């Protein structure tokens, strides 16, 4: 049975925590307000292309080497634990250079964003490929990843400076909560 709750929790934690996309959206929202949405539209278009490429790569590997499936799960769980460790060590989200805030920047960023690519491959190998075999279902669920990821960056855009101030005031608590959720997701994958 597909673990909907675990899947959504992992998506929320990994897509909503600070990374290249969220920090760019935060700074863009701080500078441009909601007019900065074109960066997010570019991100969404790039995310759609990247998630489909990740699906093709991961499914090919998953199908061609069934013996590799447990390894992919272990690597995915290890990546979750690494992200949890990074959450606990994270200090401050201010002062990051957001780069340019336009469509092409948002689009191109997805192809060089290691956090996004690793998260998508982790979700594919740990949550989607073990539970979905039909290509239309896999494609739909994979496209849902792009929508979920972009929804999180839109929250960061809308939050702008207010969200940054909140996280700065409650940084240790927020980071500990995110780390605990990641450890839980990793445990559920390998158990």
Residues 6+ apart with CB under 8 A from 146: 44, 47, 48, 50, 51
d(CA 138, CA 136): 5
d(CA 126, CA 144): 16
Q: Give pLDDT tens digits for 149-177.
A: 999 999 988 876 566 567 567 767 877 87
Q: Give pLDDT tens digits for 73-103.
A: 777 677 767 767 776 776 654 444 444 558 9
Q: Dig out the tokens for 29 from the structure.
A: 């929202």
**pTM recorded for the entire structure:** 0.72
DSSP 58: H
Q: Name residue, tokens 């590997």.
A: 61
């Amino acid at each position: 049975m597909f673990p909907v709750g675990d899947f959504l929790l992992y998506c929320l934690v990994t897509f909503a925590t600070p990374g290249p996309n969220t920090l760019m959206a935060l700074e863009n929202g701080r500078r441009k307000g909601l007019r900065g949405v074109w960066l997010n539209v570019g991100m969404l278009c790039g995310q759609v292309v990247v998630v489909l490429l990740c699906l093709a790569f991961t499914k090919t590997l998953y199908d061609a080497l069934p013996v590799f499936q447990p390894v992919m799960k272990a690597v995915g769980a290890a990546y979750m634990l690494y992200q949890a460790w990074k959450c606990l060590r994270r200090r401050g989200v201010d002062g990051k250079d957001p780069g340019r805030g336009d469509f092409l920047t948002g689009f191109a960023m997805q192809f060089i964003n290691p956090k996004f690519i690793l998260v998508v491959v982790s979700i594919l190998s740990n949550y989607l490929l073990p539970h979905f075999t039909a290509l239309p279902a896999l494609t739909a669920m994979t496209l849902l990843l792009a929508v979920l990821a972009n929804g999180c960056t839109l929250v960061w855009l809308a939050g702008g400076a207010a969200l940054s101030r909140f996280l700065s005031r409650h940084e240790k608590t927020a980071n500990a909560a995110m780390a605990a959720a990641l450890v839980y997701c990793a445990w559920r994958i390998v158990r």
